């Protein structure tokens, strides 16, 4: 059981990025990461690199750690 969130991230500006996800119950977590630009190669062109990634208040698993898009699983226990 889970919820899928898609957060659009600008690939035109680079550096520190942070998003706070709030729940109705008042719980929240912050996704915090830093991006940079890579020239890329002949085959693939430029792309955005993720330099650092962190989620506070909950444990998480980062599935794609190097480039955008980022895929992460956040483990939030059921309060019931």
pTM, two decimals, is 0.71
Q: How many other β-carbons are positioned within 10 Å of the β-carbon of residue 33?
A: 19
Contact call for residues 41 and 25 (beta carbons, < 8 A): no
* pLDDT tens digits, 6-50: 888 877 788 899 999 887 777 788 999 888 888 766 666 667 888
* pLDDT tens digits, 4-14: 778 888 777 88
Nearest C-alpha neighbor of 5 from the set 80, 55, 79, 66:
55
Beta strand extents in the chain (DSSP E only): 15-22, 28-38, 47-55, 59-62, 72-75
């Amino acid at each position: 059981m889970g919820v899928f969130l898609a957060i659009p991230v600008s690939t035109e500006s680079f550096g520190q990025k942070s998003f706070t996800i709030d729940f109705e119950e008042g719980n929240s977590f912050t996704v915090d990461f830093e991006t940079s630009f890579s020239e890329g190669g002949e085959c693939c062109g430029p792309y955005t690199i993720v330099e650092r990634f962190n989620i506070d208040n909950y444990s998480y698993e980062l599935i794609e750690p190097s480039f955008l898009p980022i895929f992460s699983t956040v483990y939030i226990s059921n309060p019931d």
